[in-house]
Amino acid sequence: SNKPRKKKKKRKTKKNSAGETVEDNDLEDIDSLLERIEDPRLAPQSQGGVTADSRPLLYVEHRNLNPENELKRYFGARAVLGDQRPRQRQRQYVRSMWLTAPKNTWPRYSKTGITMQLLDTRRGVQHFTFEHHREYQQVQFKFLDAVESMDPNNIVLLLQMNPYHVDSLLQLSDVCRMQEDQEMARDLIERALYSLECAFHPVFSLTSGTCRLDYRRPENRAFFLALFKHLMFLEKRGCPRTALEFCKLILSLDPEDDPLCVLLLIDFLSLRAREYTFLTRLFQEWESHRNLSQLPNFAFSVPLAYFFLSQQEERPELERSQARERAARLIQLALIMFPSVLMPLLDHCSVQPDARVASHPFFGLNAQISQSPALNQLTSLYVGRTHALWKDPAVMAWLEPHVHEVLHMVDARDALVQEAEHKRKIRYQSAPRNIYRHIILSEMKEATAALPLEVTSQPVMGFDPLPPLDSIVSYTRPERMSHPSNESTLSLFFRSLLPNFNLQGDIRHDGDDEAGAAQDLNQGVNRLMAAMRDMLANIQFQEPPHEDNPEGDGDWD
């Protein structure tokens, strides 16, 4: 009778390294301590976004990649986790990941044929690339065939056989999102990230900011796109701090070329996450060599960040006054450089400008009509994305006097106004390809409507939108057989059923086995076609019977 009680007691206790027993209550205390450590008030970063200057600018923290940590700060650990904690302790053989948490509903993971290799190390920066093994290449060819069929069911069938094929997961996620199945779309993106993270090189680091991936290599693009789509889902889910961390990660993979142009997004996420100091630090450190002030989003978001910093009462008065001065100077420069932003921004915020601003030609309709299409895309993207941040009455009250100050400078023919007009005419002639790629992925209707015809007229695939023109191709898809143009309708019908069928007998001589198989296939289909010809020849059409009463009322039974 004592035996079961002893076993039960053993299950309740664990031993630590010193040989002392640790009760379950103590384990709960450890969990509560970990939650306290994750408290932003105790972390090096405060709610205002003060970051230690000793860290690299694009330093990524592992704890900020988990959206549950952010949700726990908002709603509490009990509301987020609920009764998940006991279940997680019972899970077996689950590999811990940083980018996403594997789910019990996912298929069992096995090696997919994707690996990561270290190419070289230059000036302390490590350059990596993903590689596709031969078996994964074959699946990739099947995926391209499924995409060309324009039938999502073919991608579903491919995923049933290869549940962790990354491009199939990305493409099917877009299909689910179009069908308003947001939960499934997000789950497929997380599964793609899990598959790619399982292939990481042992020395590849997400947090160091010194690991690079070249977007020109097709094998690397899936990682960029999966991260971007994941952060968009996180932002819509209400986790801007986590989305900002993923945005920093994407930028750190290729900060020079920025293939997805996340610089057009990082300011919005910084403002939403209240990481104002990070945004101002990014502007100060990169303005000299990246000219961030020439992007409308940085020109307006940075002074807005300084304004929010000046409103934080816990800061010293000197810092607040310096922030107010910088905000005033930068917002005036932004209004002078990009006057076409003001009226659409006020319109989106449902704010009616006063008579002087509404009637002045500097901010009027001519400001939008006279700007180049490339600049129109940037301003439309910014207004459509961030107008909600400007709706605050305090922000509008701060903006109003600076608008009038700019009009004074315009009426006085200030040199800054003339210089800004000259810059707008010379620059922004055409947008680079990465900006078009960003607009397509962001799906902001204001900016998408301004895309040029050469972009909208070509097919855009979710797994590889607007691939670079200078791609580095490591393997190519086998060429499909050329088909004669004088094929009959019946032959085209069979070819739609059997894409590799060739009625004329032109067989590729890649090997004796393939040639023999193709010959057997042609003979079988030829026999089938001969039988169908006989069947069609024997079909006799009978005339409809004449009724005895042709003058009937014509009613149908």
Residues with Cβ within 8 Å of 508's Cβ and at least 6 positions away in sequence, in order, are: 481, 514, 515, 518
Instruction: Give pTM, 2 decimals.
Output: 0.77
- Does residue 284 sit in the same domain as residue 229? no
Q: Which two tokens stand for residue 479?
A: 């060429």
3-state secondary structure of 127: strand
- Does residue 130 sit in the same domain as residue 276? no
Is the torsion defined by CA of 471, 474, 477, 478 positive or negative? positive
Question: In this structure, how many other beta carbons lie within 10 angstroms of the beta carbon of residue 541?
Answer: 4
Closest by CA to 476, choosing from 171, 133, 170, 137, is: 137
Please, are residues 467 and 221 in contact by the beta-carbon 8 Å criterion? yes
Domain count, the chain: 2
Q: Specify the pLDDT at position 169.
A: 97
Question: Between residues 145 and 54, which one has the greater pLDDT?
Answer: 145
pLDDT tens-digit readout, 273-302: 999 999 999 999 999 999 999 999 999 999
- Does some domain include residue 420? yes
Q: At residue 133, what is the residue type?
A: H
The pLDDT confidence band at residue 78, using thresholds 50, 70 and 90, is: confident
Question: In this structure, how many other beta carbons lie within 10 angstroms of the beta carbon of residue 233?
Answer: 20
- Does residue 232 sit in the same domain as residue 167? yes
pLDDT tens-digit readout, 311-337: 999 999 999 999 999 999 999 999 999
Closest by CA to 522, choosing from 506, 533, 535, 510, is: 506
Which domain covers residue 277, as residue numbers?
261-452
Backbone angles phi, psi at 204, to 5 degrees: -75, 125
pLDDT tens-digit readout, 219-236: 999 999 999 999 999 999
Question: Between residues 26 and 147, which one has the greater pLDDT?
Answer: 147
Q: At residue 414, what is the residue type?
A: D
Q: Averaged over 378-401, what is the pLDDT?
A: 96
pLDDT tens-digit readout, 436-481: 999 999 988 888 888 888 888 888 888 999 999 999 999 998 876 5
Closest by CA to 302, choosing from 322, 318, 284, is: 284
Measured distance CA(382)–CA(378) in Å, rounded: 6
Reply yes or no on whether the pLDDT at 505 is more than 60: no
- Does some domain include residue 374? yes
- What percentage of the chain exceeds 70 in pLDDT? 74
Q: What is the DSSP letter of 125?
A: E
- Does residue 216 sit in the same domain as residue 304? no
Q: Specify the pLDDT at position 432.
A: 93
Q: Averaged over 81-98, what is the pLDDT?
A: 57
Domain end, chosen from 420, 452, 484, is at 452
Q: What is the DSSP secondary-structure string of 445-479? A: HHHHTT--HHHHTS---TTSSS--TT---S--PPP
Q: Specify the pLDDT at position 213.
A: 97
- Does residue 279 sit in the same domain as residue 426? yes
- Does residue 230 sit in the same domain as residue 211? yes
Q: What is the DSSP secondary-structure string of 33-59? A: HHHHHT-TTTSSS-TT----TTS-TT-
- Does residue 281 sit in the same domain as residue 403? yes
Q: How many angstroms separate the most distant Cα atoms in the chain?
A: 107
- Does residue 420 sit in the same domain as residue 441? yes
- Does residue 251 sit in the same domain as residue 336? no
The pLDDT confidence band at residue 543, using thresholds 50, 70 and 90, is: low
- Does some domain include residue 14? no
Residues with Cβ within 8 Å of 60's Cβ and at least 6 positions away in sequence, in order, are: 206, 207, 209, 245, 248, 249, 252
- Does some domain include residue 465? no
Please, are residues 279 and 305 in contact by the beta-carbon 8 Å criterion? yes
- Does some domain include residue 322? yes
- Does some domain include residue 255? yes
Domain end, chosen from 259, 294, 325, is at 259
Q: Specify the pLDDT at position 459.
A: 84
- Does residue 218 sit in the same domain as residue 282? no
- Does residue 345 sit in the same domain as residue 220? no
Measured distance CA(108)–CA(98) in Å, rounded: 19
Measured distance CA(338)–CA(423) in Å, rounded: 11
Q: Averaged over 69-82, what is the pLDDT?
A: 80
Question: Between residues 421 and 87, which one has the greater pLDDT?
Answer: 421
Domain end, chosen from 259, 291, 306, is at 259
- Does residue 203 sit in the same domain as residue 266? no
Q: Specify the pLDDT at position 333.
A: 97
- Does some domain include residue 362? yes
pLDDT tens-digit readout, 176-233: 999 999 999 999 999 999 999 999 999 999 988 899 999 999 999 999 999 999 999 9
Please, are residues 198 and 210 in contact by the beta-carbon 8 Å criterion? no
| Domain CATH number, residue 169 | 1.25.40.10
Q: What is the DSSP letter of 63?
A: G
Q: Specify the pLDDT at position 74.
A: 86
pLDDT tens-digit readout, 33-66: 444 544 444 444 433 333 346 788 999 999 999 9
pLDDT tens-digit readout, 235-265: 999 999 999 999 999 999 999 999 999 999 9
- Does some domain include residue 242? yes
